[in-house]
Structure 1
Amino acid sequence: MRKVLGLVAVALLLPLPARAQVQVLDFEGIGDFDPIGNAYPGVSFFGNAVALEQVGFNVTDPCQGSSGFPNAPSGCGVLFYYTNQLGSNAGINVASGFSNGFSFFYYAKYATGNPASFGVYSGLNGTGTLLGSGGLPYYGFGQGTNTWGPAGFSFLGSAQSVVFTNAGGSLIFDNMTLGSGMPADAAPPPGGDGGDGAVAPEPASFVLLGTGFGALAVVSRRRRTVR
């Protein structure tokens, strides 16, 4: 009996797996055509990255920019790589790294015949191991629609950079999500600074708690039987 209770106590006292952090870059509150710079501590952008803001339709509209891109996933601001359409010279670096996944929404502001893609790498500036990659078929202008397309995937290991190929000067991005293979579909209102969230605990934590409580139930039933 004491041995069983001891095992239960140990199981309940073991630390649960850490909750993986998810950071959403929504590009709000930066300014129209302003360099993104160090708007997000620890995240740096290469490829002449600027924020664009949706045009305002009236004086009460919270968006007062000069660019047209309907139905942005959140707020007024988006990311645009103001660089050549060809090449792999656009992306982000995350010095401390991120894990589990990467995702975003995107829209083709300018049509081009060059297929766009992106890759997630274990090192800075597209170095190290390629942890995953994906193509970016046209959504929006290139198809004559106002649709934003989701893109992303989960991966194993830790990443430090994402590189976009043939996306500069063509695509715009929103709700860039570090730590999840599914892009966030909501973010802070206009003027926010990008959200931080957390995913649910790993299933192992629920299994551990379930095992512990199950053992307590067995002990309780045995005590009632003896009495």
Structure 2
Amino acid sequence: MNTFGTVARFVRRGMLAVVLLGAGACQASLVTLTFEGLSDLAKVGDFYDGGLDGAGQGPGPDDGIKFSSDAIALIASSAGGSGVFSGAPSGVGALFFLSGAGTTINVAAGFSNEFSLFYSAFAGGSFSIYDGLDGTGTLLGSETLAVTPNTSNQLNAWVEGIADFSGTAHSVVLSGVANRILFDNLSFDIGAADNSIPEPGSLPLVVTAAAVLGLAGQRRARALRS
């Protein structure tokens, strides 16, 4: 993620929070899944829905998030696990899949505004955001995930992937080549739709970000002159 995109994202978040507070609306709650505290090679399952992972570890946080059966937790070998990776953004845990083309995450309460994650990959992948459960309904946003510059045959280079979208989503599909891509720090804005700052689907994201930054710059310039 380049510096311009990162700055635009934080400016947009600040503007959204101000608008929601002024309107008395319910703000979304930012939830980040770090995959710490799960068992090595266990199915994630209902761990983030207040339940247990596939090895009986838990209960985990009651975030209302469920994973399909092919989502597996992986612990780095440095912590006694099976994973040949290092440098994960939140510690020694990560998410991957061993078969098929991907895994699905359901959020019953819905999430809005944007979805982000960190990933490390020997082979590229993608994620897709849908307004229905189980990867159904309308595609709201997606992001392609390129191969990361790993060294020494180990997944150790982590890159952030972000997609902004309008409306309320209920599922994310993570795709890629089995056993060749890891995910960590999945972040959701749960519980409030983004109805305050419309983003026309026909405009590229860079145009929207530039407009937000331009408005912030104009306000700063007026403040300096006063």
What TM-score range do you get, normalising by the shorter chain? Answer: 0.5 to 0.7
Aligned pairs, number: 156
**Structure 2 letter corresponding to 1:104:** L
Please list the CA deviations of residues 54-105 of structure 1 after superposition, one character each: whole Å capped at 9, or x if unmatched.
112xxxxxx2212121111012110011213xx4x42211112111110000
- Mapped partners of 2:138, 2:66: distance in 1: 20
Indicate conservation of the 8 Å contact 1:47/1:168, yes or no: no
- Mapped partners of 2:87, 2:176: distance in 1: 23
Q: How does 1:174-185 map to 2 (within 5 A)?
A: 174-179=184-189
Q: How does 1:87-106 map to 2 (within 5 A)?
A: 87=101, 89-106=102-119
> What's the C-alpha RMSD, in Å, of the aligned pairs?
2.5
Q: Is 1:135 matched up with 2:135?
A: no
State the partner residue of 1:19.
27
Q: Cα distance, 1:169 vs. partner?
A: 2.7
Return the structure number with greater relative CO, CA threshold 8 A, min gap 6: 1
**Structure 1 letter corresponding to 2:115:** F
Indicate conservation of the 8 Å contact 2:90/2:185, yes or no: yes
Which of 110, 115, 132 is 1:123 aligned to?
A: 132
Q: How does 1:73-222 map to 2 (within 5 A)?
A: 73-84=89-100, 87=101, 89-108=102-121, 111-112=122-123, 115-141=124-150, 146-179=156-189
- Mapped partners of 1:128, 1:159: distance in 2: 10
Please list the CA deviations of residues 97-145 of structure 1 after superposition, one character each: whole Å capped at 9, or x if unmatched.
111110000001xx34xx5221100001111111011111011448977
Name which of structure 1's ranges 38-47 and 68-77 shifts more when overlaid on structure 2.
38-47
**Structure 2 letter corresponding to 1:46:** S
Q: Which structure has the greater CA radius of gyration?
A: 1
What TM-score, normalized to structure 2? 0.62
Please list the CA deviations of residues 188-218 of structure 1 after superposition, one character each: whole Å capped at 9, or x if unmatched.
xxxxxxxxxxxxxx89xxxxxxxxxxxxxxx
Name structure 1 gaps, 5 residues minimum.
1-13, 57-62, 181-201, 204-227
